[in-house]
Amino acid sequence: MKTICFYFQIHQPFRLKRYRFFDIGSDHYYYDDFSNEDIIRGIANRTLLPANAMLLDLIKEYKGKFKVAFSLSGVILEQLEIYVPEAIDGFKELAKTGCVEFIAETYDHSLASLKDSEEFKNQVKAHSDKIQLLFGQTPTVFRNTELIYSDDIAQSVYEMGYKAMMIEGAKHVLGWKSPNYLYVSAGCPKLKLLVRNMKYSDDISFRFSNYDWSEYPLVSDKLINWIAASPESEQIVNIWMNYEVLGSLQPSETGIFEFFKAIPRFALAKGIGFSMPSEVANVLKPSGELTAPYPCSWAGEEKDINPWLGNRLQQEAVAKLYGIGERVRMVRDRRLRQDWDYLQASDHFNFMSTKLFPGPSVYSPYENAYDAFNNYMNVLSDFIDRVNGQFPANIENEELNALLTTILNQEKEIKRLKKELETSTKKPESEEKPAAIKPKKTVVH
C-alpha cells in the first residue's frame, strides 16, 4: 500500500534592529520587536491558526487516517509563546490526536552541524526537551536546518540516539535512484534516511498558482493520480514544505486550503494512506544506501550550502560567531546565552547572500547583502565584547576551563560544609529536653 508523508517546517528568526557602529558598547539589545511581532502575528493569522484548524478537522473527519509531521525551531516556539500563544494551543490539540509527529532539529535553526559539533548536540538536546515540555513527545526522527546533510552529520545524528533522518532528494545524492523509497546512510548503515520528493513538494510550494506552468491548475485528484501511477514498489511519497505555503506563500484566495482539504478523500479512495516519518522508518525496509561526502540541503537549484556560506561575507561572519563558541558555553549569564542562540539562526547569513539578495527583496529586511553583513557584524562585535568582559580574550580557553572547574568545586564544597553545619546545629527530635532548673528558695529569717 502506498503512503504519503506530509511534513511542514515552521521557523522565523528574531530579526535584528538597525544597529550602528556607534551603538557598540552602549546598546546591548539587538532585536526589532515591532517587526518580529508584526511578522509572527501575520503568519499566525494567515497560516498557523487556519491551517491548524483545518488539519485538526481532517484528522477528526477521517478518524485518524490522515497524518502529518511538523518541525518547529526553538526560536519560533519562543516567539509564538510571546506573541501568539493560541497557536501553541493549536499545536497541542493536534499533538493530542496521536496523528501528528514533531520532528527534532537544532533549537536555533543554526549551522552548528557544519561548524561546532558540541554546539550541535547541545541544540538538538535543547530542542527535544522543548518539544517534550510543550507537546509531550520525545522526537525519534531528526531533520537538520534546511535539510543540511552529509555522511559526517549522519554519524553525529546517530550517536545522539536518532534512528532516522530526513534529507533532500538532491540529484547528486540520489543519482538514478527514486526518492520514493527508504534508504540508509552509507557511512552509518544503522541510520535510516527518508528522502524528500522534490517534484511534488515544489509543485505545491512554488508552482501551485503559476498560470504559466504547463500542469496548471494543480488539483487534488491530479496529484493523487500521479502518485497512484508510480511503480508499485515505490511505497512512500515524502511531500515536505514550509508551513507558510498554506495561506502565506500561497494565499488563501489561490484555493490552497480547498486543495489540501480534498487530498485525503481522493487518496483513500485510491488505497493510498498517510504516515508519519517514524512510522515509515519503523515499517518499511531500506532499499539501499546513500552517500553524501559533501553537505547538501533543500535550498536553490544546486541543493548545497552556498545560500549560507557561499561568499566571503558569510564565511567571515560564521567563522567569527563560532570562534567564540567554547567561551560562550562557559557563560552563566542567561541574557548572553539567549543572544548566542538568536544570533545563530541561519537566516542572518542567508541575508548576506550576494546571489539571492543583490538588492532589496521582500524576503530580506536589508537593502542588500552588504547591508546585512555590516549590521550583523556590528551586533556580533558588541556581543563578543560582552563575552570578553566575562572571560578576557588574553586568557586561553584551557586556563578558563581549569579556573571555572576550581570555582565550581569550591561552590560544591561550600554547599556541603553549609549542609553539615545546618545538620550539626539541629537537635535530634528523639533527644529529650533537659529538665528546667528550679530556682532555690531563699529563706528569710
Exactly one of 101, 105, 119, 146 is catalytic; name it. 146
Continuous segment of H or E residues that includes residue 167: strand 164-167
Q: Residue 336's closest CA among 17, 33, 83, 29?
A: 29
- Known active-site residue 413: no
At 105, which amino acid appears?
E
Task: Measure the CA–CA gap between 242 and 76, rounded to whole angstroms.
Answer: 13
Report yes or no: 96 and 59 within 8 Å, Cβ to Cβ: no
Enter the C-alpha cell of residue 198. Answer: 522534490
The CA-atom distances, in angstroms, between 40 and each of 22, 34, 49, 180 are: 30, 10, 12, 34
Enter the C-alpha cell of residue 119. Answer: 554546539
Enter the C-alpha cell of residue 394. Answer: 588574553
Enter the C-alpha cell of residue 64. Answer: 485518524
Q: Is the dihedral of CA 178, 183, 186, 187 positive or negative?
A: positive
Planar angle of CA 37, 17, 316, nearest 5 degrees:
125
Q: Residue 173's closest CA among 49, 265, 297?
A: 297
Strands 182-185 and 192-195: antiparallel
Beta-carbon count within 10 A of 379 CB: 23
At 168, which amino acid appears?
E
Continuous segment of H or E residues that includes residue 6: strand 3-10
Grouping H, G, I as helix, E, B as strand and the rest as coil, residue 164 is strand
Task: Measure the CA–CA gap between 286 and 413, rounded to whole angstroms.
Answer: 53
Measured torsion, CA atoms of residues 157, 160, 164, 169, in degrees rounded to the nearest 10: -10
Q: Is the dihedral of CA 177, 180, 183, 187 positive or negative?
A: positive
Tell me the CB-side half-sphere exposure of residue 322, using CA atoms within 13 A. 20
Residue 39 neighbours by CB under 8 Å, 6+ apart: 12, 15
The CA-atom distances, in angstroms, between 241 and each of 62, 249, 256 are: 22, 11, 13
Q: Which residues are catalytic?
A: 146
